[in-house]
């Protein structure tokens, strides 16, 4: 596994690190400048965002006053970023805020050098940006720095108003407790089976050499996490079967096609490779097939995950939140090998989400019709 953070205190059964003791003080030259390319206090925001923003800063990231924070946003999500920055200002944390369109033309070809330099001197980072086609490479450039520097990083791709008022208001301590129970079960398992009334019938044989990760919304330096949080995942040994995607597909296809409840995409997987994809929506079918054949491993299952955010009631057509919806989701492409231990790689990563799963871990059923049979 990745090296865990050494806990020095415990709160509500969640192991936390006291970063006030472990992190060095920020030097004067590294202290934040606020909005780097915009006038200070120029961005107004809906006060309804404050609860979700406070959850991100105080609960999920546990930002301390002496820690420097790098905030990356864009025109589409700038109001949400402003709400987050307001919470950082209350804590007194030095921070810099970067608006992508002020630095380079979108879609980005590379992450701007100014942002990379700022990440190098930050202990915490927040990425609240609306994804554009062909920008996955730049996000990987960012997470390369995050992984190397062990930055506590909140990944909020395609964050929007609905997610701020729903998923970001979750009780992440409760989600973390459930996630811890489920990950303890799957780490000892050899196989996971998943079925739905829509026709999904999937089996994942697990590789004991690959690690399970918990990204419950409580973010540590051991692994950056999406917000809202609520999933456990690994790279599977081998996946076989059919998956009826009646939730969403990821990356830029999510904003293009939204919820697939009324017109699902059915895929078939054999020996961990995508072999078929069919939908009445031919454009979806073709775009998905093209995406999953970008490179030699784009059609390979790189992630097998269980969503654990029990405060989410339904799929909303936004992958950032929907992959945390209780049930199974898988992803083709990049296996996050730096964390899972997988030794192969891909330049792409696309998640697919279904609804109302029945799940068995070896012979023990842990979910029935989308409801966990495990207490949080």
Q: Read off φ and ψ for residue 151, nearest 5 degrees.
A: -80, 140
Sign of CA dihedral 340, 345, 347, 348: negative
Cβ atoms of residues 302 and 346 within 8 Å:
yes
Residue 34 to residues 172, 218, 321, Cα–Cα distance (Å): 28, 25, 28
Write out pLDDT tens, residues 209-220. 999 999 999 999
Would you say residue 9 has pLDDT above 80? no
Q: Which domain holds residue 93?
A: 9-167
How many Å apart are CA 229 and CA 60, to the nearest integer?
9
The answer as to whether 178 is a domain residue is yes
How many Å apart are CA 277 and CA 270, to the nearest integer?
12
Answer with the one of 139, 167, 195 that is the final residue of a domain.
Answer: 167
If phi > 0 it is left, if psi is from -120 to 50 it is alpha, else beta; for residue 12 that is left
208 lies in the same domain as 158: no
Write out pLDDT tens, residues 260-309. 999 999 999 999 999 999 999 999 999 999 999 999 999 999 999 999 99
274 lies in the same domain as 367: yes
Three-state secondary structure call for residue 129: coil
Three-state secondary structure call for residue 306: strand
198 lies in the same domain as 343: yes
* pLDDT value, residue 27: 45
Tokens 């709160």, located at residue: 11
206 lies in the same domain as 332: yes
CB-based burial label for 21 (10 Å; 0-12, 13-18, 19+):
exposed
Name which of 55, 49, 54 is nearest 216 in CA terms.
55
Write out pLDDT tens, residues 323-334. 999 999 999 999
* pLDDT value, residue 376: 83
Answer with the one of 142, 167, 192 that is the final residue of a domain.
Answer: 167
The answer as to whether 19 is a domain residue is yes
206 lies in the same domain as 339: yes
The number of helix segments (H) and strand segments (E) in the chain equals 11, 22
Answer with the one of 116, 149, 167 that is the final residue of a domain.
Answer: 167
pLDDT band at 22, cuts 50/70/90? Answer: very low
Task: Report the 10 Å Cβ neighbour count for 28.
Answer: 7
Three-state secondary structure call for residue 150: coil
The overall pTM is greater than 0.95:
no
Q: Read off φ and ψ for residue 164, nearest 5 degrees.
A: -65, -35
281 lies in the same domain as 317: yes
How big is the chain, counted in residues? Answer: 376
347 secondary structure, DSSP code: S
| Residues facing 330 on adjacent strands | 304, 352
192 lies in the same domain as 89: no
58 lies in the same domain as 130: yes
78's tokens: 């700038």
Rg (CA), the chain: 20
Element (H, E) at 21: helix 19-22
**Mean pLDDT value across residues 226-242:** 97
Cβ atoms of residues 174 and 376 within 8 Å:
yes
121 lies in the same domain as 177: no
| Residues facing 328 on adjacent strands | 306
Element (H, E) at 276: strand 273-278
223 lies in the same domain as 152: no
76 lies in the same domain as 189: no
91 secondary structure, DSSP code: H
Work out the end-to-end distance of the chain between its first and last CA atoms, rounded to an integer number of angstroms. 24
Query: Which CATH number goes with the domain that contains 46?
Result: 3.40.50
The answer as to whether 330 is a domain residue is yes
Would you say residue 30 has pLDDT above 50? no
> How many domains in the chain?
2
DSSP E strands, 130-226: 152-155, 191-195, 201-205, 213-215, 225-226
- Average pLDDT of the chain, as a whole number: 91
77's tokens: 């999500």
């Amino acid at each position: 596994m990745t090296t865990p953070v050494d806990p020095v205190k415990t709160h509500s059964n969640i192991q936390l690190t006291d970063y006030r003791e472990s992190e060095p003080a920020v030097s004067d030259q590294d202290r934040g400048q606020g909005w780097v390319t915009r006038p200070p206090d120029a961005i107004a925001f809906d006060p309804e965002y404050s609860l979700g923003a406070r959850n991100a800063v105080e609960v999920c990231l546990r930002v301390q006053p002496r820690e420097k924070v790098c905030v990356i946003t864009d025109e589409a999500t700038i109001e949400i970023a402003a709400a987050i920055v307001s919470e950082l200002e209350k804590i007194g944390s030095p921070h810099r805020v970067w608006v992508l369109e002020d630095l380079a033309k979108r879609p980005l070809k590379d992450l701007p050098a100014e942002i990379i330099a700022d990440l190098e001197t930050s202990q915490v980072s927040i990425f609240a940006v609306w994804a554009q086609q062909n920008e996955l490479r730049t996000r990987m450039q960012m997470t390369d720095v995050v992984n190397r520097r062990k930055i506590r990083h909140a990944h909020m791709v395609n964050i929007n108003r609905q997610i701020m008022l729903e998923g970001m208001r979750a009780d992440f301590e409760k989600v973390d407790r459930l996630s811890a129970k489920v990950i303890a079960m799957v780490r000892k398992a050899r196989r996971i089976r998943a079925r739905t009334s829509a026709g999904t019938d999937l089996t994942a044989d697990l590789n004991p050499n690959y690690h399970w990760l918990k990204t419950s919304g409580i973010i540590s330096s051991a692994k950056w996490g999406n917000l809202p949080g609520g999933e456990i995942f690994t790279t599977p040994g081998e996946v076989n079967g059919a998956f009826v995607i009646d939730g969403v597909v990821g990356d830029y296809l999510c904003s293009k096609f939204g919820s697939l409840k009324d017109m699902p995409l059915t895929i078939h997987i054999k020996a961990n490779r995508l072999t078929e994809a069919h939908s009445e929506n031919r454009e979806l079918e073709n775009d998905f097939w093209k995406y999953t054949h970008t490179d030699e491993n784009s059609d390979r299952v790189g992630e097998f995950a269980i969503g654990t955010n029990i405060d989410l009631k339904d799929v909303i057509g936004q992958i950032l939140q929907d992959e945390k919806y209780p049930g199974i989701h898988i992803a083709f492409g990049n296996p996050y090998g730096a964390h899972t231990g997988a030794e192969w790689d891909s330049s792409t990563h696309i998640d697919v989400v279904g609804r109302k799963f029945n799940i068995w871990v070896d012979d023990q059923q842990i979910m029935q019709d989308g409801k966990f049979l495990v207490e949080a």
